[in-house]
Chain A
């Protein structure tokens, strides 16, 4: 089938870019031609202008959102892996912890935002945002790593037993590497969720000492500054894409020698 043929990297970048440029051009033309008011849908050129004009405040907001996202992701990563390793040590720990992790996950983060706000105090809004984003990002890491630690080849497990591996050796040399593809898949989901968490939390909780991108969107909407809103949106999706690419790159880098998901097939 044609679908199986590998597409050169240059083409894989160029084709979507070309499509994007064409759509932007069409957008610009239609908006001007139909005389759509700028507070309904501004043309791309106006969004670009407002991106340039407001770059100082937007970059500060970008940094604030980025910082919360990264911190939330790192905390989720460390605690998620730590709890997964802990529950891999004993079935008892696993069955006691897991229901609470699920509760934390299925409770919509929006609904606990006011509670978190009260707990950390309105003076520490940024902490509330961090906590909320962390909760959102935490679960995929935990559940994927837990699954990965359990997905060890039975024969390899026997082999380790046969050669008298200690619990530590088994964890480090067998379970951890087996779990790595699962963990990386979890990190990919979590990276995106941390950003969503940071944005949603800011929508709900309001902004802290500095205003993140979500706050810029709310503010622009209130002032009917729609081009400014689109500019903030643009930065948000750029951030999301960056996180996704970083995670995908990490996945390829770590798995390219051995895991089906990252190995390039030769034909």
Chain B
């Protein structure tokens, strides 16, 4: 296994050491982030808005360079040029679809950019669309779809490259509660089937506890990790987990950690 080093210890998939980000204007968005992302885990970054969790996710994705510290991929195989091969999928807060392209062409995009012929990968694209339950909408244009369906297309597009890591930036924040719960269920199912590592940015305590195997609670000004909480409840998780005492206790604990983080940020400001 890639994830085990010579000494038999589990190597992290991604290792963040002292990562900080300061913008040109002098705003310190992130400071001193130390975090190991483990192979196969579902990690949530939970924090109030403005705590830099999206910035952190973008740095991990390579959309931007940290001002301090480093982000390593110790377990990733190296490509010909000696860079770590990071098969990433990214889901933005908005569905971020090309309005002029059909659902099929939107999902095909990452493969197309990688130089794959349409005919050669049609089955793969169709399978990704199928896995989010939109097969009958493959030829539809995004504007004909509901918000939840657009987000499903966005997830299918992230999955089509069979990524080892799926990065999600508050993907369901703009959706209604019912759609959100359904997509949460679907996401967990896909994660368990696909065996990826997920890093999921959210500002919802309930969502993070329901989905994650681990939660990193972040505080603001500058953004930093104030607590990590292991969510040991077994998968598959369903409606019975959502109503269990264990779930409630975890939500209380996570809320308390978040509250502490926000109080200390307020005191610092």
Q: Interface residues, chain A, CB within 8 Å of chain B?
A: 153, 155-156, 158-165, 169, 173-174, 177, 180, 257-259, 263
Contact = CB atoms under 8 A, between A and B. Distances in A.
Contacts of A160: 113
Given A158-B58, A158-B92, A160-B113, 20 more contacts: A155-B92, A155-B94, A155-B96, A156-B98, A158-B63, A159-B90, A159-B109, A162-B90, A163-B110, A163-B161, A165-B113, A173-B112, A174-B98, A177-B100, A257-B141, A257-B143, A258-B100, A258-B141, A259-B100, A263-B143
A206 to B, nearest CB: 46
A160 B113 CA distance: 8
Interface residues of B, number: 22
B63 A163 contact: no
A237 to B, nearest CB: 34
Contacts of A161: 63
Contacts of A263: 143
B233 to A, nearest CB: 32
A158 B100 CA distance: 18
A164 B113 contact: yes
Nearest to B61: A162
Contact of B63 (A162, A169, A258): A162
B114 A258 contact: no
B113 A169 contact: yes
A173 B161 CA distance: 18
B96 A153 contact: yes
Nearest to A156: B96
Contacts of B90: 158-159, 162
Q: Is the interface of A mostly helix, strand, loop or mixed?
A: helix
Contacts of B112: 169, 173
Nearest to B63: A158
Contacts of B110: 163
B30 to A, nearest CB: 18
A162 B62 contact: yes
Given A164-B113, A177-B98, A180-B100, A159 B141 contact: no
B141 A163 contact: no
Contacts of A174: 98
Report which residue of A158, A159, A164, A177 has the largest number of chain B beta carbons within 10 angstroms of its beta carbon.
Answer: A159
Contacts of A158: 58, 63, 90, 92
